[in-house]
A and B are shown apart, each in its own frame.
Chain A
Amino acid sequence: MLETTWFLLWGILWAVYFALDGYDLGLGMNMPFLAQGETDKRIIYNAAGPFWDGNQVWLVTAGGVTFAAFPATYAVLFSSLYTPLLLLLFALIFRGVSYEFRRKVDSDSWRKFWDGCNVLGSFLPALLFGVAFANIFMGIPLNAQQINEGNLLTLLNPYGLAGGVLFVVMFSMHGSLWLAVKSSGELEKRATNLARKMWGAVLTMVVLFLALSVLYTNLFDNYMNNPALFIVLVLPVTGLILTRKYLDNGEQWKAWASSAVGIIGVTLFGIIGLFPKLLPSTIDPAYSMTIANSASSTLTLQIMLGVALTFVPLVIAYQTWVHIRFGHKITQEDLEYEEAY
C-alpha cells in the first residue's frame, strides 16, 4: 500500500513537472515562430520570468523522489539513459543561464547567443523527456543483471520518437497559451493562432500515441483488467476539449489551465498503465524494475510521506499564489522595470 502510494505520488510529481515546466519550455521553443523583434522576445522571456525557476524544482524533486523512494530504479534508469540524460542536463543548464545572462551585456551577438541557448535549451528537453518517457512506457532491453543492452539508437524507435513529438507539440501549445495569458495585441494574437494550430497537432499526436501504445506497449493491460481505470482517460480528453473551447471563447487563463490538466492526464495515463513496473524490461518481464524490487524501506517511505503530505500542498499553495500575483498581462511598464529580463 505504501509502495503503491509512492508510485502514484511519483507519477504525480512528474506530471506536475510537465504541466509547469512544460509552458516555459514551450515559450522558449516558440520564440522563433512568435517573436518579431526585440520587444516580443523580451515579453516571451518575462512571461516565464517569475516562474521558470520554481517550475524547474519539480524536476529536481521528481528526480530526488525517484532516488529516495525507488533507489534501484533510479540507479538503473539513470545509468541506462546516460547519454540522453546528460544531453538534457546540458540543455537545461544553458536554458537556465540564458534567462539570467541575456540582458547583462548590451550587444546583439550576446543576446543572439543566449536566445539560441534558450530555444535549443527548451526544445531539446521537451523532445528528450518525450522520448525517455515513451521508452519507459515501452521498456528498454534490461538484461538479468539489470543492465541496459541497448544504446542511444535503441531509444530512437518509432514509439520513442512519437513520444518526443507528442511532448514537443503539447508543450508548444501550452507555452503559446501562457503567452496569450501574459501578452497583448499582435503577439497575443499570434500566440493564440499558434495554440490553435498546435491544438490540432496535439489531438493528432495523442490519437497516434494511443494507437501506437496498443502496438508497442502493455500499457492497456491494466486498463483491460480493471476497466474502471479508463476513467483516467477523462482527464486528457476533457483537458483537450476544454482547451479548445476556452481558446475559442478567448478565456486564456482557463484554456491554459485546461491544457495543464491535459498534460497531467496524458502523463498519468501512461504511469497507471505502467503500474506496478517503473521500468519494464523488453528482454524478459522478470528483469523489469518494479515497485516490489526497488522500493525503499518502510521507514523511509513513511517519513518521506509525512514530508510530502505536509510540504507539497504548501508548495502548490505558494506557487499558485505566485502565478496569480504575477499572472497579469505584461505592459510597457513591466519591460522598463529594472529587474525585467
Chain B
Amino acid sequence: MDVLLLSRLQFAMTTFVHFIFVPLTLGLSLLVAYMELKFVRSGDETYRRMAKFWGKLFLINFALGAVTGIALEFQFGTNWSRYSAYVGDIFGSLLAIEATLAFFLESTFLGVWIFGWNKLSPKMHNAAIWLVALAANLSAFWIIMANGWMQNPVGYVFGDGRAELGSFMSLISNEFAWHQFIHVLSASYVLSGFFVLGISAYHIAKGSNVDFFKKSFRIAAPFTLIFAIVVVVQGHSHGATVAKYQPEKLAAMESHWETRTQAPQYLLVIPDPSNQRNRLELFPIPGGLSMLAYHDFNAEVKGLNDFPREDHPPVMTTFLSFRTMVALGFLFPILAVWVWFKRKTPEDSPLLLRILPWIIPLPYIAVQLGWIVAEMGRQPWIVYGMMRTSEAVSPGITTAQVAGSLAGFMAIYGLLVALCVFLLSKYGRKGPAPAPAVQE
C-alpha cells in the first residue's frame, strides 16, 4: 500500500459517505419549504407539523453532510497537493465561490429556521427555509461545476507551469458539467421523493397519523414522478455527452472493445478485461449502442482497444456500476407512475404500501453507482486528459500518516453512518409530534 492508493481509498470513502447525506438535503429541503408554504397559505396546522417532522429528518442529514463536506476540502490540500497547486486557479476558485455565495446562506439561515419558529413571523420563517433550499441547490451547482471541470476541462490556458483561468464564462457554461448537474440534482430529488414516500407508506399501512402521511405522500408523488422521468430522459443525453467528451469512459461503461460502426447494444455482457474482450455477448440490438451514443444507428463507436492501455479506466467496476444504475433508473419511473395513480388513496393499495419502505435504499445505491461511473470511469485521469491521478498526490506525506488518517476516517465515518441510520429510522418510525390541543 502506498500513499497514492491509500489517498485514493480515503478520498473515495469520504466522498461516498458525504454523498449519503447530501442528496436527501437537496430534495427534502425543497419539500419541507413547500410544506411550510402550504401552512403559511392555508393555516392548516397539519402542514406545520409536516414541516417540523420532515425538517427534523432533514436536519440530521444536514449536520452530517456539512461536517463530512469539510473533509473533502481539506483533503485536496493534505493528500492532493500537486493537484491543488496545478489547478487551484480554477478549481479552488469554484470552491471558494461556493462557500461565499451558497454555504454561508444555507448554514446561517438554517440556524434561523431551527430557532425561529416562535421568534419570526410565519412568512419570514418560511423565507428562511426557502433560502436554505435555494442555497443547498446553488451549492450543488458550484461543486458540480468544479467536478465537471475535472471531467471536461474547459476555459483554461497553460501558464506558469499550471492550468490558469482563461474564460470564466466557458467554465460555467461547460456542457458536460450542466448535464452532470441536472442528472445529479434530479437523481437527488428522486431519492428524496422515495424517502418521503417510503416513510409515509410505512405509517399509512400501520394506520398511524394517516391524514398527516397521506398529505405528505400526495406532495411527494408528483415530485418523484417528474424527476424520475427527467433523470432517465436526461440521463440518456448525458450519456451522449460522455460519448462526445470521454469516449474511453463510454467504452468502459459498455465494455466495448473493438471500434465499429453500427455497434450493437448487447443486453447481456460478461466482460473479460484481462484479455481485452468480452467473455459473452448476448441479445444484441443492432446499431443500439451507436444510436444511444450518437443518435445514429450507423455511427462509429470507438472501442477500448483503440485507446492506449494505460488510459483504460477500470472496466469491470465502471461497467457493472453503470448497468446496475441504469436498471434501477428504469425501475423508479415505473414505481413513480404507480404511486402517482394511487396518490389520493394510497391506503387502497396495501402492496404498494408494503413495497415503498423497502425502496428507500435503492436510489441511494443508484446515486453512489452513478458517482462510481463518473469518477472511476474518469481514471487514470484526475483531470480528464490533463493530469493523471498518480501525478496529483502530495509529495512529502508518508504512508503511515495516510494509513493513520484513513483508519480514523473509517472509524468515525462508520460511526456517523450507523448513527444516521439509527436516528433516521428512530424518528422516521416515531412519526410527528402530536397536534397541539385546541385552544379554549
Q: Which residues on A are within 8 Å of B, measured CB to CB? A: 49-54, 56-57, 59-61, 63-72, 74-83, 85-86, 89-90, 92-94, 96-97, 99-101, 104-105, 145, 147-148, 296-297, 299-300, 303-304, 307-308, 311-312, 315, 318-319, 322, 325-326, 337-340
Contact = CB atoms under 8 A, between A and B. Distances in A.
A68 B63 contact: no
Interface in B210-254: none
B144 to A, nearest CB: 16
B115 A326 contact: yes
B372 to A, nearest CB: 24
B96 interface: yes
B98 interface: yes
Interface stretch (B86-94, B323-331, B356-364): B86-94
B81 A78 contact: yes
A325 B119 contact: yes
Given A93-B67, A312-B100, A75 B88 contact: yes
Give the size category of B's interface with A.
35 or more
A92 B396 CA distance: 25
Interface in B147-172: 159-160, 162, 164-166, 168
Given A80-B396, A297-B165, A304-B93, A57 B74 contact: no
Interface string B6-19: 00000000000000
A61 B88 contact: no
Interface of B: 52, 59-60, 63-64, 66-71, 73-74, 76-79, 81-82, 84-85, 87-93, 95-101, 103-105, 107-112, 114-120, 159-160, 162, 164-166, 168, 394-397, 401, 404-405, 408, 412, 416, 419, 423, 426-427, 433
Contacts of A105: 423, 426
Contacts of B89: 68, 71, 296-297, 300
Contacts of B73: 60, 63-64, 67
B149 to A, nearest CB: 13
B100 A296 contact: no
A44 B223 CA distance: 40
A148 B95 CA distance: 26
Contacts of A85: 74, 77-78
A134 B28 CA distance: 43
* Residue of B87, B117, B405, B416 ringed by the most chain A CB atoms within 10 A: B405
Contact of A337 (B76, B103, B118, B433): B118
Given A67-B77, A75-B77, A97 B52 contact: no
A78 B7 CA distance: 14
B70 A71 contact: no
Given A68-B88, A72-B85, A92-B67, 18 more contacts: A60-B73, A67-B88, A68-B93, A68-B95, A75-B85, A76-B81, A77-B77, A79-B397, A83-B404, A93-B416, A104-B426, A104-B427, A296-B92, A304-B96, A307-B101, A311-B101, A337-B115, A337-B118
A340 B119 CA distance: 13
B169 to A, nearest CB: 10
Contacts of A96: 63, 66-67
Nearest to A56: B107
Nearest to A96: B67
B22 to A, nearest CB: 15
Contacts of A308: 100
Given A54-B104, A57-B99, A326-B115, A101 B419 contact: yes
A145 B85 CA distance: 13
Contact of B70 (A70, A83, A92, A296): A92
Contacts of A337: 115, 117-118
A82 B84 contact: no
Contacts of A299: 164-166, 168
A67 B96 contact: yes
B108 A86 contact: no
B21 to A, nearest CB: 11
A145 to B, nearest CB: 7
Contacts of B78: 78-79, 81-82, 85-86
Contacts of A60: 69-70, 73, 99, 103
A95 B200 CA distance: 32
Contact of A315 (B66, B104, B394, B401): B104
Contacts of B100: 61, 64, 307-308, 311-312, 315
B229 to A, nearest CB: 34
Contacts of B109: 318
B394 A68 contact: no
Nearest to A59: B70
Contacts of B166: 299
A304 to B, nearest CB: 6
Contact of A49 (B64, B107, B115): B115
B28 to A, nearest CB: 15
Nearest to B62: A100
Contacts of A92: 67, 70
B405 to A, nearest CB: 5
A307 B172 CA distance: 15
Contacts of A68: 88-89, 92-93, 95-97
Contacts of A311: 100-101, 104
B395 A145 contact: yes
Most A CB contacts (10 A, CB to CB) among B96, B104, B433 go to B96
Nearest to B160: A297
A67 B97 contact: no
